[in-house]
């Protein structure tokens, strides 16, 4: 595998479920990101990890919980989501200082 | 605050037409500028970038020039193809972890 991979690609969950999104980067980068992409809105940066430490959290509700066990893996744990959380969740990675982010294909999430 | 403004879409063109997608930015420092492309069902892919004033980024026939005096980074292509149909995002980076994206412009190219 090369680049940035995300699983699952599609997820349907009820508001009381708990699920996790997984991201893996094979580029040797030291920073990873979670973004939310909703229709007709700019990409929203949710979380940033650098060298496995969280460096940014943009006022994201606590029902979203990130985890970065090592520099290659990033998770987004989901619980008691709302229908308005339905969106495409994108993972990205970069090498600090390079300025260029590389994105995964995203997880399309539908909350019923 | 820092921001990126792109033209509203969708932009609909015939094959072989000339493409321009406008992008302007507001930034307190000296940003790097990017164009990303998103094909249906996929994530964003870097199309081109420029890191300083007057730099021209180019890739796959697309070009954009970093214009500091007009704070712009317009995307152009001389002859579009049906396969160029996608959503195009202008973005800036001020270093560190701060990236700002525009809302995206959908391009439809008709055969």
Residues near A61 by Cβ (< 8 Å), separated by ≥ 6? none
Using the predicted structure, report yes or no on whether residue B33 has a pLDDT greater than 90. Answer: yes
On chain A, the residues whose CB falls within 8 A of the CB of B4 are: 42
**Banded model confidence at residue B30, pLDDT cuts 50, 70, 90:** confident
What is the pLDDT at residue A68?
94
Q: Cis before residue A92, ω within 30 degrees of 0?
A: no
Q: Which of A9, A35, A95, A83 is nearest to B91 (CA)?
A: A35
Using the predicted structure, report yes or no on whether residue A97 has a pLDDT greater than 90. Answer: no
Q: Output the six-digit token pair for A3.
A: 């680049």
Q: Does any CB of chain A come closer than 8 Å to the CB of residue B29?
A: no
What is the pLDDT at residue A108?
95
Using the predicted structure, report yes or no on whether residue B95 has a pLDDT greater than 70. Answer: yes
Using the predicted structure, report yes or no on whether residue B96 has a pLDDT greater than 80. Answer: no
On chain B, the residues whose CB falls within 8 A of the CB of A31 are: 97
CB contact under 8 A, A102 and B46: yes
Share of chain A above pLDDT 70, in %: 98
Write out the DSSP string of B21-52: E-EEEE-SS--EEEEEEE-TTS-EEEEEEE-S
For range B41-48, the mean pLDDT: 92
CB contact under 8 A, A43 and B101: yes
SS3 track for chain A: CCCEEEECCEEEECCCCEEEEEEEECCCCCEEEEEEECCCCCCEEEEEEECCEEEEECCCCCCEEEEEEECCEEEEEEECCCHHHCEEEEEEEECCCCCCCEECCCEEEEEC
A4, A48, A104: residue with CB nearest B97: A48
What is the pLDDT at residue B102?
92
For range B55-66, the mean pLDDT: 97
B4, B32, B103: residue with CB nearest A99: B32
For range A40-45, the mean pLDDT: 85
By DSSP bridging, strand B75-77 and strand B62-65 are antiparallel
Residue of B nearest to A101 (CA): B46
Using the predicted structure, report yes or no on whether residue A99 has a pLDDT greater than 80. Answer: no
Q: Which of B5, B32, B25, B24 is nearest to B98 (CA)?
A: B32
Using the predicted structure, report yes or no on whether residue A1 has a pLDDT greater than 80. Answer: no
CB contact under 8 A, A101 and B99: yes
What is the pLDDT at residue A24?
97
CB contact under 8 A, A45 and B46: no
On chain B, the residues whose CB falls within 8 A of the CB of A102 are: 46
Using the predicted structure, report yes or no on whether residue B105 has a pLDDT greater than 70. Answer: yes
For range B45-57, the mean pLDDT: 95
**Banded model confidence at residue B94, pLDDT cuts 50, 70, 90:** confident
Helix (H, G, I), strand (E, B) or coil at B82: helix
* A97 against A85, higher pLDDT: A85
What is the pLDDT at residue A80?
93
CA separation, residue B57 to residues A56, A72, A89, B48, B95 (Å): 29, 29, 28, 5, 18
On chain A, the residues whose CB falls within 8 A of the CB of B9 are: none
């Amino acid at each position: 595998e090369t680049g940035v991979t995300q699983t699952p690609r599609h997820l349907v969950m009820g508001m009381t479920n708990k699920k996790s999104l997984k991201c893996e980067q094979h580029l040797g980068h030291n920073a990873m990101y979670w973004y939310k992409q909703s229709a007709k809105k700019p990409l929203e940066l949710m979380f940033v990890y650098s060298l496995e430490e969280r460096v940014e959290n943009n006022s994201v509700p606590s029902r979203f919980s990130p985890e970065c066990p090592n520099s290659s893996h990033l998770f987004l744990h989901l619980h008691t989501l709302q229908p308005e959380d339905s969106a495409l969740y994108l993972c990205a990675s970069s090498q600090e200082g390079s300025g260029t982010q590389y994105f995964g294909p995203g997880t399309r999430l539908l909350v019923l | 605050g820092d921001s990126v403004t792109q033209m509203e879409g969708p932009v609909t063109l015939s094959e072989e037409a000339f493409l321009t997608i406008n992008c302007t930015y507001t930034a307190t420092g000296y940003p790097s500028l990017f164009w990303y492309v998103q094909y249906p069902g996929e994530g964003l892919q870097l199309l081109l970038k420029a890191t300083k004033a007057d730099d021209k980024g180019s890739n796959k026939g697309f070009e954009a020039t970093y214009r500091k005096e007009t704070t712009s980074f317009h995307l152009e292509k001389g002859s579009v193809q049906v396969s160029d149909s996608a959503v195009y995002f202008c973005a800036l980076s001020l270093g560190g972890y701060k990236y700002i994206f525009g809302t995206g412009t959908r391009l439809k190219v008709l055969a």
